[in-house]
Amino acid sequence: MQYIQYYDSPLGRITLASDGEKLSGLWFENQKYYGSTLSEERELKKLPVFDQTGQWLDLYFRGQEPDFIPPLSMEGTPFRKSVWEIMLRIPYGQTMAYGAIAKEIAAQRGIGQMSAHAVGSAVSHNPISIIIPCHRVVGANGSLTGYAGGIDKKVRLLTLEQADLSKLFVPTKGTAL
């Protein structure tokens, strides 16, 4: 059984999902891959993990860096999980390029290189938005690309974190990751 709860954020309604103990999903309504880890059997329920997540989100949307992370259940392939683990380490208010994540994955695996596009797919399928900060991942040369919640939300989240947006831009077609 999976459980859900809703959180009303300044950027729109967010759906939270849990296995009963850990947070397994956090999506803006209508975002790409919305509810990707949700089963048909789910119940609206108040849970401690939803309270913790709500506290985290309250701090975050007040412009504060939360000093804790609710317990997470990352459901995905080993490759996706490795990408999400790297994203968890991107500091608040900072960004990291898809290519840099690809280099780190390649080094972990002892291989010469890893595709930035494969990393981009893993980033876009992140089921726990904001907390696993996919909005902090940018393309080559600082292009703001590939946020499942929409580029407008990506910009607003980075602005909330007071990230330096001066070198970031919305790409035109054909800009590389």
With DSSP H G I counted as helix, E B as strand and the rest as coil, what are the percentages for the chain, rounded to 5? 35, 20, 45
Single-letter amino acid, residue 109 = R
Q: Please pick, among 47, 57, 102, 134, the residue that the annotation labels catalytic.
A: 134
DSSP 90: S
Instruction: Return d(Cα 86, Cα 63) in angstroms, integer.
Output: 23
Give yes or no: 105 in active site.
no
Where is 60: in which H helix or E strand?
A: helix 48-61
Active-site residues: which are they? 134
